Amino acid sequence: MEPRVKKTWKQVDGVLLLDKPLGMSSNDALQKARRLFSAAKGGHTGTLDPLATGLLPLCFGEATKFSADLLDADKVYEADIQLGVTTDSGDAEGQITAMAAVNLEIGQISAVLERFTGDISQVPPMHSALKRDGRPLYELARQGIEVEREARAVTIHHTDLLAFACDRLKIRVACSKGTYIRVLAADIGRALGCGAHLAGLRRSGVGDLTLVGSVTLAQLDALPEAERLAFLQPVDALLQSLPSVQLDGEAMQRFRHGNPVDLPTGLAGKIRVYADGRLIGVGEPGRENRLWPKRLVQLAL
């Protein structure tokens, strides 16, 4: 038996736009990608259910400092909805609880989708990772226990009807964080009078990031490790929606060492800060109307 070779981890900095496969948890996908890059440090920007495919932005090295910035970002999904079949989980993994004939016209579909646009309320499903007394709700659901959940406010920015045939419906949903698409599917089915569940889900957008430039684990695995680096986006890929400022000289040195600098006129909120065209951190307006460092980047020069 050959001795096991110890894995050598290294500093890898950047953002990977992963096209997550079906059936894999976000953490398993992260760990697989991290090993493929031999990245010493990695994190993700929010989970994607195992039953969903699509965009899962992963952060390595210095980019992990900004992973939380995408937690509040809007999302875009493409959802396949099975009409006429209701399940206890709201998705295809659940037990069927009701079945009904489907006899709908596209005008009825469009009218109902319009009702689920804008600010709406959703009751989180029992089959979710939300916790009650320290235990995830899905653990209680597996034991046949159901507890009361408070409705939450979410925003559906727009819903596009992509396809409708017989008892299958496909929609594109742009929504706020915290939106449960399987709850949306079940609510749409209830409003149509036939019931429904989520049959398939693919995420195509997170904030300003899309599947353009994304890569699968299988594609990465087929490449030599050195060639995989070409798929890494720069550390500031998560921050493109923020205004930016360039610093040099004394101001650059002050900011790098955690000290405030003069705040450029007209800028507010979180601000990307660069020196010589390279991201050195993110700052926010603070005391004395100055730009204060909030997160600093340590990249090799």
Q: What is the CATH number of the domain that holds 284?
A: 2.30.130.10
What mean pLDDT is predicted for residues 4-31?
92
Residues 68 and 213 reside in one and the same domain: yes
Asked, for residue 50, whether it belongs to a domain, the answer is yes
- Which range is least confidently modeled, 12-16, 146-150, 234-238, 259-263? 146-150
Asked whether the beta carbons of 60 and 77 are under 8 A apart, the reply is no
Residues 198 and 121 reside in one and the same domain: yes
Interhelix angle for 181-192 vs 106-115, to 10°?
130
What mean pLDDT is predicted for residues 173-193?
95
- Domain boundary residue, one of 238, 257, 278: 238
Residues 250 and 144 reside in one and the same domain: no
Asked, for residue 145, whether it belongs to a domain, the answer is yes
Phi first, then psi: what are they for 191, rounded to 5°?
-65, -30
Read off the pLDDT of residues 105-147 as tens digits, 9 standing for 90 and up. Answer: 999 999 999 999 999 999 877 666 667 666 766 676 676 767 7
Asked, for residue 9, whether it belongs to a domain, the answer is no
Residues 101 and 196 reside in one and the same domain: yes
Helix (H, G, I), strand (E, B) or coil at 178: coil
CA angle 277, 11, 204 (to 5 degrees): 70
Asked, for residue 35, whether it belongs to a domain, the answer is yes
The span from the CA of 268 to the CA of 31, in Å, is 36
Q: What is the CATH number of the domain that holds 100?
A: 3.30.2350.10
- Which range is least confidently modeled, 3-17, 41-55, 132-146, 274-288? 132-146
Asked, for residue 1, whether it belongs to a domain, the answer is no
Residues 29 and 137 reside in one and the same domain: no
Q: How confident is the model at residue 301 (pLDDT cuts 50, 70, 90)?
A: very low
Residues 255 and 283 reside in one and the same domain: yes
Tell me the two tokens of residue 272. Answer: 């990307």
Residues 90 and 195 reside in one and the same domain: yes
- Which domain, by its residues, includes 104? 75-206
The span from the CA of 198 to the CA of 89, in Å, is 9
Residue-level pLDDT at 109: 96
Is pLDDT above 70 for 300? no
Residue-level pLDDT at 72: 84
Asked, for residue 301, whether it belongs to a domain, the answer is no
Residues 107 and 97 reside in one and the same domain: yes
Q: Is 69 a catalytic residue?
A: no
Residue-level pLDDT at 124: 76
Residue-level pLDDT at 141: 67
What mean pLDDT is predicted for residues 272-296?
92
Residues 96 and 198 reside in one and the same domain: yes
**Amino acid at position 22, single letter:** L
The span from the CA of 180 to the CA of 198, in Å, is 10
Whole-structure pTM value: 0.89
Residues 125 and 222 reside in one and the same domain: no
Would you list the DSSP string of 268-298? -SSEEEEETTEEEEEEEE-GGGEEEEEEE--
Q: Are strands 232-233 and 244-246 parallel, antiparallel or unpaired?
A: unpaired
Domain count, the chain: 3
Residues 118 and 60 reside in one and the same domain: no
List, in order, residues 6 or more apart from 297 with CB less than 8 Å away: 62, 65, 235, 279, 280, 281
CA neighbours closer than 13 Å in the CB half-sphere of residue 15: 25
Residues 129 and 272 reside in one and the same domain: no
Helix (H, G, I), strand (E, B) or coil at 153: strand
Residue-level pLDDT at 120: 94
Is pLDDT above 70 for 83? yes
Out of 49, 69, 88, 236, the active site residue is 49
Nearest to 53 by CA among 35, 85, 29: 29
**Residue in this structure with the two tokens 């096209």, named with its chain if needed:** 19
- Domain boundary residue, one of 221, 238, 255: 238
Asked whether the beta carbons of 74 and 95 are under 8 A apart, the reply is no
Asked, for residue 3, whether it belongs to a domain, the answer is no
